[in-house]
Amino acid sequence: MKVKILTLFFALIFMVGCSTKSSGLYNLRPEIWYNHIMADIKANDLKEADKHYNQFASEHVASPLLEPTLLVMALANTDEGRYTRANELLDEYIRRYGTKEKIEYAKFLKIKANYDSFQRPNRNQNLMQYSIIEIENFLSEYPNTQYRPLLETMLIKFKLAVYHLNKNIKDLYAQKGRDVSAKIYEEKLQNSALKDANLSAPNLPWYRAFFE
């Protein structure tokens, strides 16, 4: 009796395994994988696109269709607010296809993904300072980049947001009677290149006002 039960148990496991595999996609031609992934993206199913991309990449490591697929997926994830995943895909793009021009473009897209992330609430405030450094490094590394006008606009908006954040923190410390902390932020404001600019306080929260 025990032998029959064990036999039935393993048979069921085998059937489930076969069923799972048969319901997935395997051993497809590169162009078929590409079409499936584009359909996933069009249907806004980025998790399924990830699964199909991973299978595609494992089956066809040298396919020329992998490069455009990877880039489209990174852009799609940025559009849908999946900025961490977008940056992961762009890092993979740099590792796989890192010519000088492609690295420049991918780095620009990473900066843009960070910039776009501030259009959504509850983002990491430290990312602003990091993004300022990344933009300045990028402009130093690629002084003649075609993306300079866009990056300079992003840089100004990041700096404006940081300035108003520091002002809000200074005012909060002053209200709480924490004069030493308030003075630290007052010094930051006085040392800012924006201190003499005629700035209007944003109506939206500081982390969104300059990115919309």
Residues in the chain: 212
The domain tally of the chain equals 2
Q: Which two tokens stand for residue 143?
A: 């002084």
Give the three-state DSSP class for 197. coil
Q: 130 and 77 in one domain?
A: no
Angle CA(58)–CA(95)–CA(45) in degrees, nearest 5?
55
What is the predicted pLDDT for the residue at 14? 44
Distances (CA, A) of 147 to 81, 126, 140, 208: 22, 24, 12, 23
What is the predicted pLDDT for the residue at 118? 78
Q: Which two tokens stand for residue 10?
A: 């393993």
CATH at 70: 1.25.40
Q: 149 and 65 in one domain?
A: no
For residue 192, tell me if it sits in a domain: yes
Full domain range(s) for residue 121: 117-211
Q: 203 and 155 in one domain?
A: yes
Q: 204 and 122 in one domain?
A: yes
Q: 206 and 123 in one domain?
A: yes
Query: What are the pLDDT digits (tens) for 158-202?
Result: 888 888 888 888 888 899 889 898 898 888 888 887 776 666 555
Q: 204 and 130 in one domain?
A: yes
Q: 185 and 132 in one domain?
A: yes
Whole-prediction pTM: 0.74
Q: 143 and 75 in one domain?
A: no
Residues of the chain with pLDDT under 70: 1-24, 119-125, 196-212
Instruction: Give the number of other Cβ atoms within 10 Å of residue 186's Cβ.
Output: 17
Query: What are the pLDDT digits (tens) for 190-212?
Result: 888 777 666 655 555 544 555 55
Q: DSSP character for 199?
A: P
Give the three-state DSSP class for 99. coil
